[in-house]
Structure 1
Amino acid sequence: MGGWNMKLLVSGRQLFLSQDLAARIGVEEALFLQHLYYRLETQGMEKEGHMWYRQTYQGWAKQCFHWNIRKIKRIITKLEHYQIIVSSNKLNSFNTDRSKWYRIDYEKIDELLQKKIYAQEELFHEESNLPEVKMTKANTDQSDEIANIINYLNKKAEKQFNEHSKTNIRLIKAILKEGYTVEDCYLVIDEQVRNWKNDLQMNKYLRPITLFRPGNFESYLNDALTRLQDKNIDFEPVVLDFDEGECY
């Protein structure tokens, strides 16, 4: 029996990953990168001196069926921040084409593997460690987004958190840099307000430092997405499209 169980664990197509790389960028990111490498090797196209693979977010989600589109976007955004993945839509033949082209910067991977650790703060520096920069439209837009998120929390939870608080701004900015969206923040607020607002013991945790702490946020968001799926989606048998090549 034990031998049969072991056989089940190794049979079929497997997606391997480097533990060294996973320790620096995350397990899910390393898995996705390995999947992209497989696609480049089997279906890549040479353009501008590099091998590229063309895909949409919907296509990625179909291949990697254990991740939804939101998760795929966050993983890709994070890898783009790391500059391990280079993506472009300039290689599309038509402006209406919503797919993107992806390639791997192998020199960047080599640089990462030379480091003993590639910590989160090395990827997304705290504002205090960055040189002072001139305010741009992008900075202004993000400041407006952060203010909207805090005001949304105040309205839903009936609180009065300060939208100019450096701590609140730093927390939400870190979440947005991870690839989460303003809509994701609204979903987390709605979910936890629904769970905690009328609970005398838990109501006090309807605060930015709890909701937007990185270790908490993803869990709260997954709960919210699960609730939406349970409410809006009729369950059907799962049919895997092996022509697309699911990601294991």
Structure 2
Amino acid sequence: MEAETITPEIEVLNLFNQITGHRHRAGKANISGIKRVLKEGYTLHEIQEVIQLKTIQWKNDAKMSDHLNPVTIFRDCNFDKYINQVLNVKNNPKLYQKYYEQLNKIERSAADDIDDLKAMFG
């Protein structure tokens, strides 16, 4: 039995599944966007930040949780926009804290501690 070859695309898909708790397979639809993003020069760290942010924003949102998939996240017209959202969070974590609390209807959030946000997003 041959060992499965872990390509950079598969590595990103595995990371996506680990962060989101999903089980997306390495089909053409899931891999093609990842391949394009890697070819454009985005780093694994940048990709991880986007996955983390979209997971925080969408995982518990009934309307958006269906969009938390590799096809949507790595779509040509979306990924650049999501990278810029990560930059907005890094530049203004306090503003994002209010958004996060409102989105999840909780009194305290992981975004309360700026040190945790800095650790997550560099």
Class of the TM-score when normalised by the shorter of the 2 chains: 0.5 to 0.7
Identity %: 34
Structure 2: runs of 5+ lacking an equivalent = 94-113, 115-122
Taking the TM superposition and a 5 Å limit, the aligned residue runs for 1:154-233 are: 154-162=17-25, 164-231=26-93
Cα offsets for 1:196-231 (capped at 9, x unmatched): 011011111010110000110010110011101223
Q: Which structure: greater strand fraction?
A: 1
Bigger relative CO (Cα 8 Å, ≥ 6 apart)? 2
* Paired amino acid for 1:180: Y
* 1: CA distance, partners of 2:29 / 2:75: 11
Q: Secondary structure of 2:88's partner?
A: helix
Q: Which structure: greater helix fraction?
A: 2
Cα offsets for 1:169-193 (capped at 9, x unmatched): 2111111111211111111101100
Structure 1: runs of 5+ lacking an equivalent = 1-139, 233-248
> What is the CA distance between 1:167 and its match in structure 2?
2.0
> What is the CA distance between 1:148 and its match in structure 2?
2.0
Residue in 1 that maps onto 2:10: 147
Cα offsets for 1:68-91 (capped at 9, x unmatched): xxxxxxxxxxxxxxxxxxxxxxxx
Q: Secondary structure of 1:201's partner?
A: coil
**Count of equivalent residues:** 90
TM-score normalized with structure 1 length: 0.34
* 1: CA distance, partners of 2:75 / 2:92: 26
* Paired amino acid for 1:229: N
Taking the TM superposition and a 5 Å limit, the aligned residue runs for 1:1-248 are: 143=7, 145-162=8-25, 164-231=26-93
TM-score normalized with structure 2 length: 0.67
Residue in 2 that maps onto 1:48: none
* 1: CA distance, partners of 2:31 / 2:59: 23
Residue in 1 that maps onto 2:97: none
Root-mean-square deviation over aligned CA pairs:
1.7
* 1: CA distance, partners of 2:88 / 2:82: 10
Residue in 2 that maps onto 1:244: none
* 2: CA distance, partners of 1:165 / 1:225: 30
* 2: CA distance, partners of 1:223 / 1:204: 20
